[in-house]
Amino acid sequence: MSTNNSKYDWKQITLTPIKENPDRTNNFAKFKHKTTIKLKAHGLWKVQGLDTSGNAVDITLQGNEPAVALEKQIHNDWLETDKHVLSLINDAVPIQKTWVIQKCKSSHDAWNSLCKEFEPNNSLTAMNLNQQISMFSCQPGANPAVWLEIMLQLYGRLCQADPTLMSDFEFLKMLITHMCKDEAWRYCQSELRVKLVTAQEMGCPLSSSIVVSRLKLEEIHHGVAPSIKSIQNLVQSASLYPSGSAVPSLHLAQTSVKMSMSLGQVVPGSVA
């Protein structure tokens, strides 16, 4: 790999901006994943920089030290390249968080500082979201469409916080396990379970998108699929489920009654 800076059009290389939400969750996992891929693609993942004490350090991929040593013998512009990478990282940091890397002298130092700042919050959030998904069952009388939409949003937030904590396959098993268990939905659940076992035996695991599509078809069949506007209004509502609530099942059942009444449907157990 050559680190001759003339080969790079630095203005054309940008990193995914880091975003922090009001609840202190962030997209750092996404930033970290995409940045790693982009820097590797441009041959910028391994550069030489300085630690906080000003000592030279080698930023390498594990097991790639010999190649880096050779590159250092051939090229002498590692420090210049590192300055450019540090600048790219700096541009991706929100202005209110620039203090995190303000004193960093190398891209490696900045990378570690950002990990220490953003990853702990995401880890706590991810564990909480993972627990919610694992315990969130569609309660009797609840609207399965609202339950599914909340499950998808919870999983989306989990993937943003920590994409490694729950795989797509694990999520689809949660969908099948916690889906509506009313009599009218038992055939759908049995069908999905058979598909899951068959796919595993054939070595072709299902994807959550297939399960979601089947559940949405069942919603239409039972006439519980709400309009896009209705589902967006309910899911985006701050009162959809209480902040900090471990499992919003009770509130979901109450919300389902409101949704069904607004659609002119009667929910079992409700007053027509």
CA distance 105 to 96: 19
pLDDT in tens, 11-31: 678 888 998 888 777 888 888
pLDDT in tens, 66-84: 766 666 655 556 777 888 8
Alpha-carbon span 87 to 83, nearest angstrom: 6
Question: What pLDDT is attached to residue 235?
Answer: 54
Tokens 């006439």 -> residue: 223
Q: Which of 201, 210, 217, 197 is nearest to 171 (CA)?
A: 210
User: What is the structure's pLDDT at 50?
Assistant: 42
pTM of the predicted protein model: 0.56
More confident call, 246 vs 6: 6
Rounded percentage of the chain residues whose pLDDT exceeds 70: 67
Distance, in Å, from the CA atom of 189 to the CA atom of 102, rounded to the nearest integer, reads 54
CB 150 within 8 A of CB 255: no
Least confident of 21-25, 190-194, 205-209, 211-215: 21-25
**Does residue 263 register a pLDDT over 50?**
no
Burial 151-169 (b: 16+ CB within 10 A, else e): beebbebbbbbbeebbebe
Q: How far is it, in rounded angstroms, from Cα 252 to Cα 144?
A: 10
